[in-house]
């Protein structure tokens, strides 16, 4: 893993569907405000969740009513494909493991 000038770990460049998923994490976390180590940790968590491929939810928000729409999916990859498909039609989207 690459490190920045202060010796903190930095996120790596991802490709394919994982890059799309990572972009959603970046947007949701306002690009981690330049905190490389925090971003690198979040990226490692995403990669772990991607590899575990467990049941996941997609939470979306449209407009300013504050009410999310939640859909459940059998796997992380299925949830990410769904998120890719609807991304242009919602204001905010996040994919997370379905912990019950």
- Dihedral angle sign, alpha carbons of residues 35, 50, 58, 45: negative
pLDDT in tens, 28-83: 888 788 788 989 999 999 999 999 999 999 999 988 777 899 999 999 999 999 99
Q: What is the dihedral of CA 70, 80, 38, 98, to 10 degrees?
A: 40
Report the pLDDT value the prediction gives residue 70, as an integer from 0 to 100.
Answer: 96
Q: Using an 8 Å Cβ cutoff, are 77 and 21 in contact?
A: no
User: What token pair was written down for 87?
Assistant: 């991304």
């Amino acid at each position: 893993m690459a490190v920045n000038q202060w010796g903190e770990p930095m996120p790596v460049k991802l490709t394919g569907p994982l890059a799309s998923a990572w972009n959603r994490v970046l947007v949701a976390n306002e690009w981690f405000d330049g905190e490389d180590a925090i971003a690198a940790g979040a990226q490692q968590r995403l990669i772990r969740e991607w590899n575990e491929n467990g049941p996941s939810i997609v939470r979306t928000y449209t407009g300013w009513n504050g009410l999310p729409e939640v859909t459940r999916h059998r796997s992380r990859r299925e949830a990410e494909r769904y998120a890719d498909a609807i991304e242009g039609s919602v204001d905010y989207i996040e994919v997370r493991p379905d912990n019950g």
